[in-house]
Every structure is written in C-alpha cells, then in structure tokens.
Amino acid sequence: MVTFTKLKPSELKVVGIAALGGALEFYDFMIFVFLANTVSPQFFPATQHINSLLGLFSAFTVGYLARPIGGLVFSHYGDLRGRKKAFYVSILLMAVPSLLIAILPNYQHIGFIAPVILVLLRIIQGLAVGGEIPGAITFTFEHVDVNKRGRAIVIVFFALSLAVLFAQGITALLHSLLTQEQFYHWGWRIVFLIGAILGVVGGYMRKNVSETPLFNSIKSQRKESYVPAAYLFKNHLPQLAQGLSILCLDAVSMFLLFLYMPTFLVNFKVHNPIPADEVHVINSISLGIFSVFMLLFGYLSDHLGRKKLILIGSILLILLPYPMFTILLSGSTKAVLVSLIILGVSFSLVASSYGAMLAELFPAKVRYTGVGLAYNLAFAAFGGTTPLIVTYLIKVTKNPLMPAYYLMLLAVLGLLGTLTIKPNKLY
C-alpha cells in the first residue's frame, strides 16, 4: 500500500523558500512570452505580424542561449562555495533587468537602440535563470530525507506553474481594467514592474536561509581542489546525456503546451477562431489541471518510481500530439480545452519526476553543475528556441501541425534516454 510521510517543518520551510523564490524569478522571465503580441511590434516593427513575432522570439531565444553560461558560473560557485550564496545572487540579477524593461522606451522613441537594450537585458536575465532552477532543485534535494525528494521538488515545480498562472492572471486583469490602447502603450509595463518588486522580495527571503547539510559535510571533508565541470565531463558524461534527453522533452513540452500555446491559437487557429481573452482562460485552466496532476504524480514518484512515470509520459507524448493538435486547429472551444488537458496530464507524468531524477544522476560534489548543465543546455537548445523554431517551421512549410511533429520527435528522444537509466546507478 502506498503511504505518504509528511515533510517536517524544517523541510517545509526550505521547500517554501526555494519554491516561492523560484516562482518569483520564473514569473519575471516568462511574462515575456505572454506579452508577445503586445511587445513585439513596439520593439521589432515589421510589415508582417509574423516577422515581428519572430523578432521578439529571437530576443527571447538569445536570453535562453545565455542560460548555459550562467548555469556554469552559478553551478561552479555553488559546488565549490555553497548552494545558498549562488541561490541568493541569481534572483537579484532578475529584478533589475525587469525594472529596466518596465521603463525602457520603445523603437518609436529611441530607434534601434530599444531592441538592442532589450536583448542585453534578456541576456542578463538568462544568465541569472541559468543558476536559479538548478539551484532550487539541488537546494531542495539536499535538504530533505531521501524518501521525500520527489514530493519536495515537485512542490518547487508546482510553484513555478503557479507563477505562470499568476503572470497570466495579471495580464488578463490588466486587459479587463484597461482599454486596448492603454494596455498597448503602458499597461504591459506594469506586469514587468510587478516582477521586479517580487524579485526583490524573493531575494530578501533567501538571505537568511541555511546552507544544505550535505554541502557542509562534503566541504569539510574536501582534501583537494577540483573544477566541477571538468570532473563531471570526465566521470559522469553518460548521466549528463541521460539528463539532457529527459530535459529536452520537458523543455519543449512546457513551452509548446503552455507558454507558446496562446500565441499559437491566436495566430494559427483559422477554423473556429477563439478570442485572445478566451485563449488565455483556456490556457490557464489547462495549466492549473496540469499542475495538480504534476503534484499528485510527484508524490507517487517516491513510491512507484520516477523512471516508470517518465516512460509512460513519454509514450503518451509520442501517440497523442498529432490527433490533439488537429483538434486544436479546427475544434470548438470546449474541444480545444479538452485536448490541452489531455496533453497536459500526459506531460505531467514527466514533469513530476524529472527534477528528483536529474539530481539523483549526479554525486553531491558535482550535483549543482550536473543539474545546471543538463537543465540549461536543454532549455537553451530546445526550450527557449521552441517558439522561434515552430513559428519558422509553420512559416516555411505552411503546415500548422509542425509543433505536434516537433513534440513527438522530442518524446522519442526522452523515451530512449530514460530507458538507459539504471536505478542502481543513482545517487
């Protein structure tokens, strides 16, 4: 019989700080996607709207390409000097760029300098995020008992989903309170300003949190210096490849099913089109249901095994995208919602389990670096590029089903990588 052991108060405190801080930072980074249709023409004016979107998603992609560099810096520091210090600095480096984006003049006022500054600010945010989520995974993993790691880390990811919902909610609220002209000219800036304020709050919360007991233990026993990344590549390259295979599927699924979906439905659903405000509601409902199932499966992963859940989710994401995306493009509003829920629940099997599985692939002395490299390489190469790639594929092929094919391809990769993981080789 499956029984659940509750997290201790001390564990809940750590999980709460990691989850809330990560959620605040995730909000800062992800609002860029939700405001795509509003922000893109202001900083990347073009005669065709799809070219304007490509300009904005290129800026978004550049931010994600900076993540591996930030991940290397923060994880190197975190493995040698402490998880807490790296964890604290990363969130502060998100707040300032968000504030500057909120007050940045657009192309009409300062010309080409506007998109240049926007891209630079996104690069800084990309560097910061490179250390954030890996830090949250490692920090939480090392603070809780071994039989509670799945449920603890999934709470962090649940908070990230709530951050996306919060970003959607704030955007929807401002849309309802302001006229279209007001939101276009200055209302969207409020969303970034809120992110900057929340980032400062998150930094304050992390300032006084304690270091992980496991890191303190290995630091006191360390007898020789080493470079974490070099040690990782020399001794744990297969584990890095396994982590990448799962993370690539997770990254593409998250961006495609939730972050890019509003843009996809608004711009490419020709039959039975859905108004933009209804699209955001549908997306929020789908994300909310996904988050609940992810939380449930995260608890179950401590008992049923993470590998089993990831395998089931990967198989479903191979079989379902084509029929579900066909419905998305032609179905009614209710049919679209049901299709997104089905895809979201399938994805939740993977999302609920990969965090703890990823941390288990690497020993403590290079855990932050291993998690950071796998996470950031996957999200930079596949996650952050997803909006740009699928938009370009649709433009070139004239086939709006290209996102489904792309997701199915990554699901095959995730399935193959997961099959090679041996439970007796985990840490």
- Judge whether 25 and 156 are in contact, CB under 8 Å: no
Instruction: Give residue-wise pLDDT tens across range 138-180.
Output: 989 988 888 899 999 999 999 988 887 788 788 888 888 888 8
Between these two residues, 204 and 293, which has the higher pLDDT value? 293
CB atoms inside a 10 Å sphere around CB 405 = 15
Between these two residues, 49 and 119, which has the higher pLDDT value? 119
Q: What mean pLDDT comes out for the span 402-423?
A: 95
Q: Does position 234 have pLDDT exceeding 90, yes or no?
A: yes
State the residue for tokens 């659903």: 269
Q: Does position 195 have pLDDT exceeding 60, yes or no?
A: yes
- Please report, as a single letter, which amino acid is at residue 346: S
Q: Residue 2 has what pLDDT? A: 43
Q: Which domains does the chain have, with CATH numbers?
A: 12-214+224-421 (1.20.1250.20)
| Token representation of residue 354 | 């990969």
Report the C-alpha gap between 215 and 213 in whole angstroms. 6
- 315: alpha, beta or left, given left = phi > 0 and alpha = psi -120 to 50? alpha
- Please report, as a single letter, which amino acid is at residue 223: K
| Token representation of residue 162 | 């709530």
Between these two residues, 422 and 323, which has the higher pLDDT value? 323
Q: Confidence band (pLDDT; 50, 70, 90) for 268? A: confident
Report the C-alpha gap between 276 and 328 in whole angstroms. 14
Residues contacting residue 308 through CB under 8 Å, at least 6 positions apart: none
Element (H, E) at 42: helix 36-43
Query: What sign does the dihedral 296-158-81-374 (CA atoms) show?
Result: positive
